[in-house]
């Protein structure tokens, strides 16, 4: 539906799950894609080979919670592709823990990757976009947990609520540079992070009871909203959230 020929896209956490689906969707739409990963080079290379069937792509390793690694990654992407037109902030983690048992280190781990990482990468890429003077689009992948206070996920919920406000703030301050910033909030989406939970019949039935459309999303179900917000068709959209959660936030 969208043609991103001539555009360069950076996708963080792009080796698997929603990130991988976004990488392939942009590649199929003609974009050059920079694929960020942190831990699994093997998964990143498999995603790279799949993307290369459609467009020019490359992998870039960085822990997005580390400013030195983020800056080196962005510099590497610009050196390789010459520019960055679109950023998809997607790298994230999840761990289920009772509120009374969350340790400081676990809290920091979730917030550092899920929120600080979005700030660090968003700031570094926005600076590059300002230098290019060509505008740009940033899409943050959040979660409907930015509004739904799910149990056992205090740190995750807070990180995603932070992404929602970060999106609005970035959109407001970057608008003079013609950089649009929006947010996609998926609902229950089956990925490596939650596949074991979804396989548990009792857990799955409990979640499905709160989802009006009774659908567990696949990563590919999220990409349409991401590509729309990155496209010129969304030229008037900034600072907003698109909910892709099968109606979970209305139940």
Helix, coil or strand: residue 46:
helix
Catalytic residue from among 37, 80, 118, 156: 156
CA distances from 216 to 55, 211, 223 (A): 30, 9, 15
Q: List the 32-37 sheet strands across, edge first.
A: 57-61, 32-37, 8-11, 86-89, 136-141, 179-186, 241-244
Pick from 238, 243, 246, 229: nearest CA to 1: 229
* Cβ(60)–Cβ(35) below 8 Å: yes
Strand partners, 9: 33, 86
Both structure tokens of 199: 């396989």
156 has catalytic annotation = yes
In this structure, the chain runs to a length of 251
Q: How far apart are the first and last CA of the chain?
A: 31
Active site members = 156
């Amino acid at each position: 539906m969208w043609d991103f020929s001539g555009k360069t896209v950076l996708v963080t956490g792009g080796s698997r799950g929603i990130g991988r689906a976004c990488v392939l969707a942009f590649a199929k739409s003609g974009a050059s894609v920079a694929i960020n990963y942190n831990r699994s080079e093997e998964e990143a290379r498999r995603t790279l080979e799949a993307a290369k069937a459609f467009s020019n792509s490359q992998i870039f390793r960085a822990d997005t919670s580390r400013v030195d690694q983020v800056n080196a990654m962005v510099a590497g992407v610009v050196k390789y592709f010459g520019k960055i037109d679109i950023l998809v902030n997607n790298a994230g983690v999840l761990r289920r823990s009772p509120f009374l048992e969350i340790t400081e280190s676990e809290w920091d781990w979730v917030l550092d990757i899920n929120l600080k990482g979005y700030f660090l990468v968003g700031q570094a890429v926005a600076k590059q976009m300002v230098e290019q003077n060509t505008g740009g689009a940033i899409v943050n992948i959040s979660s409907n947990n930015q509004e739904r206070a799910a149990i056992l996920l205090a740190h995750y919920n807070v990180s995603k609520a932070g992404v929602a406000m970060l999106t609005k703030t970035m959109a407001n301050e970057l608008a003079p540079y013609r950089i649009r910033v929006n947010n996609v909030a998926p609902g229950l989406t089956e990925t490596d992070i939650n596949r074991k939970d979804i396989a548990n019949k009792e857990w799955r039935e409990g979640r499905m009871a709160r989802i009006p459309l009774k659908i567990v999303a696949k990563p590919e179900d999220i990409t349409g909203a991401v590509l729309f917000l990155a496209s010129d068709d969304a030229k008037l959209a900034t600072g907003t959230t698109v909910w892709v959660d099968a109606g979970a936030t209305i139940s």
